[in-house]
A and B are shown apart, each in its own frame.
Chain A
Amino acid sequence: MLKLLDGPQTLGRGKIFWSCFLAVLAGALIYPLFADSYDVGNFAYFLIWIFMALGLCLMWGYGGMLSFGQTFFFGIAGYGYGVLAIDMGGGTATIAALVLSVVIAMIAAGILGYFMIWGGISGIFFGIVTLSATLVLAFFLGQTAGPEWHIGPARLNGFNGMKGMDPLTVGSFDIEGSALYYLMIALIVIVYIALRMLVNSSVGNVIVATRENPQRAEMLGYDVRKYQLLTFVIGSGLAGLSGALYTSWGQFITPSSIGLPAAAMPIVWVAFSGRNDLTATLVGSFLLLFGFQTITVYSQQAALVLMGVLLLATVMLAPQGFVLGIGKLVVDWWTRRRRRDEGPALADTGRLQSDET
């Protein structure tokens, strides 16, 4: 099983890469000991969005399906968490609300994905349909201000958004601040490792094959529709996890977190980072979120313009993504240097798949 961590579908392998990974993880674990609680809370907020980015990376970069629907599933799970947390009475039931809301998002992805994939929708039309679904949901939730729009005691509240749900709670302990931060770190490590193992497995081979040449994959006996649906459900479920965690973190959610500007953000993060690699997406998305938040303090408009500029720059200058490109350059340079120093006996520690091209 562990050998699936290092495979042809993921950047970075060998002792050097995993040593760096552990060093970064150790740094992340001790960070709350040195930082004030406001910064720790902010970091937890950045980390919430990473799941959505990793999900899009899986769908778009590995599966070849550009989904504009990440905030659709974010919204379903976010509102789902709110409704369930309120209706189930809060407290420890919020854990069940979190799990159920992600399951609901995955079921929604299964239904939408089934009709799209079995209906033969692919390429740019996949993006158009998922974007349409996203805009419809945002519009629908925006007109639910009236008192008739409630599910049990949970009111949807239109553009003002839902509020009043409990944060994640175990017994009488609210998972907030440092506790939420550590929960984020644990979830990110689990999701990252699980996705690495998935894409380097035989299932991952077929997912990538489907992206490359779906007809050829079918001619090898694979029902590519099932693999596409699986990819879509997992990727959308991760967006749902972000949504449920977001609502739990802020104890509110509004339709604006689903609409067009929000829906475009994951595309920018993943395109800038490098959609073909999970590690690049993880690192790049975090950096962008951090930068975006920092600039937003001074001007939200400037931050949005910067996101647009970054997307254009990525398309024009580094179509495979800036972080992935820089990562490859660094590793290529390192590999060449070691080869020069150690001669032909050099082991392939830390090699990238791009070395073989």
Chain B
Amino acid sequence: MALVEVKGVSKRFGGLTAVSEVDLTVNAGEVHCLIGPNGAGKSTLFKLIVGLYPPTAGSILFDSIDITAERPFARVQRGMSIKMQAPSVFKELPVRQNIQIALQERLSGAECAAEEERLLSLLNLAEDSGKLAGALSHGQQQWLEIGMALALQPQLLLLDEPTAGMSPEETYKTGELIKSFNAEGMTVLVVEHDMAFVRQVAQRVTVLHLGKIFARGSLDAILEDEKVAEIYLGKTHAH
């Protein structure tokens, strides 16, 4: 069953067409990776899905409801949760308060405190919970933002380059974390450059190129597609 349906979506910035007539379906319960070379339109498509950009044409459905005109907060209230490309946390507030702000709409009192502790230890941030979020390392800020996104217990977790700035070990752990939440039924849409990470988590992959869908299917099928290798994966194979 489709959880997200992107139908004929285009986005133009003046004379530049960043995304052109894209159709994309993310099925409930899958980890779907959106890949492509720089400038392919991945982040633009991501921002169209989360509501940061209004599309020039086309529509976006979430759980069969047209959300094209909805603002980001309304999409989040429907069950989306979003982690942006650059760490986007409340830098002047303590780590614990960042998590609290994410949790407080769903939980209160002792339940909220217990979930706070669980998330902080899951993200290896328990010892730093009193620090200002801005004092964390880049990788830790990425984790904190993932934790804030998870705190909403979303149906759909949207992650834009979640491992940027992380060490290989942190990247692997993030992948395992995503897989564990997916195993519990959470749908995940990931925009990512790191092919090792994509191999670790992806169940289905869509390749974007020059703002259009170039290929889609299982990771194995994508990896065997010579045209995809030509535009994007050549360097990866070479490694």
Q: Give me the interface of A with B, judged by CB distance under 8 Å.
A: 8, 202, 205-206, 208-209, 212-213, 215-224, 353, 356-357
B105: chain A residues at CB < 8 Å are 202, 220-222
A216 touches B88 (CB 8 A): yes
A205 touches B97 (CB 8 A): yes
Measured between alpha carbons, how far is A225 from B102 in the docked complex, in Å?
17
Mark interface residues in B48-73 (1 if CB within 8 Å of A CB, else 0): 00101000000000000000000111
* Interface 9-residue window, one of B127-135, B206-214, B223-231: B127-135
B135 touches A205 (CB 8 A): no
A357 touches B77 (CB 8 A): no
Q: Give me the interface of B with A, judged by CB distance under 8 Å.
A: 50, 52, 71-74, 76-77, 81-82, 84, 88-94, 97, 100-102, 104-105, 108, 130-132, 135, 148, 152
Known: A219-B82, A223-B73. A213 touches B104 (CB 8 A): no
Given contacts A206-B101, A220-B76, A223-B73, 9 further A-B contacts (CB under 8 A): A202-B108, A205-B101, A212-B93, A215-B84, A215-B88, A218-B73, A219-B73, A356-B130, A356-B132
B90 touches A357 (CB 8 A): no
Measured between alpha carbons, how far is A216 from B76 in the docked complex, in Å?
11
Measured between alpha carbons, how far is A344 from B40 in the docked complex, in Å?
56
Measured between alpha carbons, how far is A213 from B87 in the docked complex, in Å?
11
Q: Please provide the 6 A-B residue pairs with the shortest distance between their CB atoms, ordered closest to farther.
A: A221-B76, A212-B90, A356-B130, A202-B104, A216-B88, A218-B73
A213: chain B residues at CB < 8 Å are 88-91
Residue on A nearest B94 in the bound complex, by CB? A356
B74: chain A residues at CB < 8 Å are 223
B152 touches A209 (CB 8 A): no
A220 touches B101 (CB 8 A): yes
B84: chain A residues at CB < 8 Å are 215-216, 219
A209 touches B93 (CB 8 A): yes
Measured between alpha carbons, how far is A353 from B91 in the docked complex, in Å?
14
Residue on A nearest B77 in the bound complex, by CB? A221
